[in-house]
A and B are shown apart, each in its own frame.
Chain A
Amino acid sequence: MTRLACNPERLALLARRIHIAQGEISLQLRLAEIGDLAMPEIRSLLQRAVSLLESQEERVRRILNSSFLNLSESYSLMFNSSAYLLNRWVTHHPGWWSDATHGETTEIDILIAKVAENPLDAGRLIDSTSFLAPLIYGCHDTEVVRKLWLSATDPRTTSVTAAGQRMTRLVEEVFGDHEWRDGIAPTWVDIHELKQIRQEIRDLLGEVVAPWQLQFTGLAHEWRWSAETGIHYLKKIAEAENAAVAVSQGLGPALYRNLSDLPDDSSDRLQRINSIAFAVGASTELLRNSKVRQADMDSDHLSTLLTIPTLLSLKLPWPTSLLIGKSNSYVVNLLDRAPEVRVNSALHMLQHRSALASIAFMAVFNSALTSGRIDESNVQPSPDVQLELQHTVDMIDNPTARGQVLADLSDENS
Chain B
Amino acid sequence: MSTPLQLAVRIQDTIDQQIREISRLSDSDTWVGPVALISHIEIMRVKSLLSSCVDLLRAHHDSSGL
Given contacts A49-B49, A56-B43, contact A14 B25 (CB under 8 A): yes
Q: Tell me if B46 and A49 are in contact (CB < 8 A).
A: yes
Binary B-proximity of A39-78 (CB < 8 A = 1, otherwise 0): 1011001101100110110011001001000000000000
Report how far A35 CA is from B43 CA in the complex, Å: 30
Give chain B residues whose Cβ lies under 8 Å from the Cβ of A53. 46
Give chain A residues whose Cβ lies under 8 Å from the Cβ of B25. 10, 13-14, 17
Q: Tell me if B4 and A11 are in contact (CB < 8 A).
A: no
Q: Which residue of B lies closest to A27 (CB)?
A: B10
Q: Tell me if B33 and A17 are in contact (CB < 8 A).
A: no
Report how far A255 CA is from B29 CA in the complex, Å: 60
Q: From residue 16 to 40 of chain A, which have CB atoms closer than 8 A to chain B?
A: 17-18, 20-21, 24-25, 28, 31-32, 34-37, 39
Instruction: Check: A333 CB closer than 8 A to any chain B CB.
Output: no
Q: Tell me if A42 and B32 are in contact (CB < 8 A).
A: no
Chain B min CB distance to A151 (Å): 29
Given contacts A17-B21, A17-B25, A21-B19, contact A31 B7 (CB under 8 A): yes
Q: Tell me if A63 and B34 are in contact (CB < 8 A).
A: yes
Q: Tell me if B34 and A20 are in contact (CB < 8 A).
A: no
Max chain B C-beta neighbours (<10 A), residue from A13, A42, A52 = A42
Chain A min CB distance to B26 (Å): 6
Chain B min CB distance to A88 (Å): 9
Q: Tell me if B4 and A36 are in contact (CB < 8 A).
A: yes
Chain B min CB distance to A85 (Å): 12
Q: Tell me if B18 and A24 are in contact (CB < 8 A).
A: yes
Report how far A229 CA is from B10 CA in the complex, Å: 63
Binary A-proximity of B42-64 (CB < 8 A = 1, otherwise 0): 11011001101100110010001
Interface size on A, residues (CB 8 A): 39
Q: Tell me if A45 and B53 are in contact (CB < 8 A).
A: yes
Task: Identify A3's interface contact among B11, B14, B30, B34, CB under 8 A.
Answer: B30
Binary A-proximity of B18-38 (CB < 8 A = 1, otherwise 0): 110110011001111111011
Given contacts A28-B11, A32-B7, A56-B39, contact A14 B26 (CB under 8 A): yes
Q: Tell me if B49 and A45 are in contact (CB < 8 A).
A: yes
Report how far A7 CA is from B32 CA in the complex, Å: 10
Task: Identify A28's interface contact among B7, B19, B38, CB under 8 A.
Answer: B7
Q: Tell me if A39 and B56 are in contact (CB < 8 A).
A: yes
Report how far A81 CA is from B11 CA in the complex, Å: 33
Q: Which residue of A lies closest to B60 (CB)?
A: A39
Report how far A6 CA is from B57 CA in the complex, Å: 40
Report how far A178 CA is from B37 CA in the complex, Å: 35
Q: Tell me if A24 and B14 are in contact (CB < 8 A).
A: yes
Given contacts A28-B14, A39-B56, contact A56 B50 (CB under 8 A): no
Q: Tell me if B3 and A36 are in contact (CB < 8 A).
A: yes
Give chain B residues whose Cβ lies under 8 Å from the Cβ of A31. 2, 7, 10
Task: Identify A41's interface contact among B18, B29, B32, B56, CB under 8 A.
Answer: B56
Give chain B residues whose Cβ lies under 8 Å from the Cβ of A10. 25, 35
Give chain B residues whose Cβ lies under 8 Å from the Cβ of A3. 30-32
Task: Identify B38's interface contact among A37, A49, A60, CB under 8 A.
Answer: A60
Binary B-proximity of A344-365 (CB < 8 A = 1, otherwise 0): 0000000000000000000000
Instruction: Check: A4 CB closer than 8 A to any chain B CB.
Output: yes
Give chain A residues whose Cβ lies under 8 Å from the Cβ of B10. 28, 31
Q: Which residue of A lies closest to B42 (CB)?
A: A52
Q: Tell me if B34 and A11 are in contact (CB < 8 A).
A: yes
Residues of A within 8 A of B (CB): 1-7, 10-11, 13-14, 17-18, 20-21, 24-25, 28, 31-32, 34-37, 39, 41-42, 45-46, 48-49, 52-53, 55-56, 59-60, 63, 66
* 28 A-B interface contacts by CB (under 8 A): A1-B29, A2-B30, A3-B30, A5-B33, A6-B33, A6-B34, A10-B35, A11-B35, A14-B35, A17-B22, A21-B14, A25-B11, A31-B2, A31-B7, A35-B1, A36-B64, A37-B2, A37-B3, A39-B56, A42-B57, A45-B49, A45-B50, A46-B53, A49-B50, A55-B42, A56-B26, A59-B38, A66-B34
